[in-house]
Amino acid sequence: MVIAAVGQLCSTASLASNLAQCQVLVRKATATGAKALFLPEASDYIGSSAAETVSLARSVQDSEFVKGLQKEARDANLPINVGIHEPAPEGRVKNTLVWINEKGDITQRYQKTHLFDVEIKDGPILKESSSVEKGMEIVPPFETAVGRVGLCICFDVSFLALDPNIKLEIHMLCLQLRFPEISLALKRQNAQIITYPSAFTVPTGSAHWEALLRARAIETQSYVIAAAQAGFHNEKRRSYGHSMIVNPWGEVVASLGGDFKEPEIATADIDLGLLSKIRREMPLLRRTDIYPEV
């Protein structure tokens, strides 16, 4: 068995402050003997408006946040999975999840595929696609020290929960976590760990966060690692927190709370023997003769 660490922080519009929080998490993860650290979506920053979010985006070559984490990975000999923003054409950004290996190299990159466009009757019209470029592919799972990892990103709501006139309707968001197709496709490619770095709103998180994470773990018989943003990012935006690791039986084996006081980690043993046992003793034999294979 090996130890995986899931980190929780509260990103703001200050990339320097956010990097400092992540550096704390790297030190804490290293002290536990973890073989990988999983950080939330939008760890580099969360802006107070779509315009600020776009203006802060930098390429990985120019991002002091990314370069700082690459140095941390090298110095600590610790792979880091982290959600960032990257510039995209036509004044938009990419919501990206990168894998930085223990040498500090970016070896994997996944771009969020499910964007949130909605028109609510007598309510707001919201088009995330106007500021975010959607990803176009599922990245095949890859080998790491903690297992074979498949990358997903939870649906980012940081662009959407900015209007104080948006009430309950906006919390009925479809999250990438709500789309089992990607996780099933990753399982079919023998993913052993599926990531869901997130920035959930509090109402949605209270209702659905743990239930969806456990469902994804159970139906794929995989470990699910969900690093979450927590606390107040600005006067308009608060995230739910409750980072957790769920085992292939659907048990929460590590978790954090929702009140942000300082950057935190939780750790769990990744038992690939348990995963193999569950898959062997309860095989999920899909009837692709009567419905399509995902």
Residue-by-residue pLDDT tens, the chain, 294 positions: 999 999 999 999 999 999 999 999 999 999 999 999 999 999 999 999 889 999 999 999 999 999 999 999 999 999 999 999 999 999 999 999 999 999 999 999 999 988 767 676 776 566 777 789 999 999 999 999 999 999 998 753 333 334 434 433 333 333 456 678 999 999 999 999 999 999 988 988 999 999 999 999 999 999 999 999 999 999 989 999 999 999 999 999 999 999 999 999 999 999 999 999 999 999 999 999 999 987
Strands 237-240 vs 244-246: parallel, antiparallel or unpaired: unpaired
How many independent structural domains does the chain possess? 1
In a domain, 291, yes or no: no
Q: Could you list the beta-strand ranges (E) of 159-263.
A: 193-195, 223-226, 230-234, 237-240, 244-246, 252-255
pLDDT of residue 129: 79
pLDDT of residue 288: 93
Is the pTM above the cut of 0.75? Answer: yes
What is the dihedral sign for C-alpha 15, 16, 21, 27?
A: positive
Is residue 22 annotated as part of the catalytic site, yes or no?
no
**Dist CA 94 CA 36 (whole Å):** 24
In a domain, 265, yes or no: yes
Catalytic position from the list 35, 154, 187, 264: 154
Question: What CATH number is associated with residue 225?
Answer: 3.60.110.10
| Residues 218/210, Cβ–Cβ less than 8 Å | no
In a domain, 88, yes or no: yes
In a domain, 293, yes or no: no
In a domain, 290, yes or no: no
In a domain, 43, yes or no: yes
Strands 147-151 vs 230-234: parallel, antiparallel or unpaired: unpaired
Is residue 112 annotated as part of the catalytic site, yes or no?
yes
Catalytic position from the list 10, 28, 35, 41: 41
pLDDT of residue 141: 98
In a domain, 263, yes or no: yes
The parent domain of residue 213 ranges over: 2-281
**Dist CA 125 CA 92 (whole Å):** 18
Is residue 94 annotated as part of the catalytic site, yes or no?
no
> Radius of gyration (Cα) for the chain, nearest Å?
18
Catalytic position from the list 112, 128, 187, 264: 112
In a domain, 125, yes or no: yes
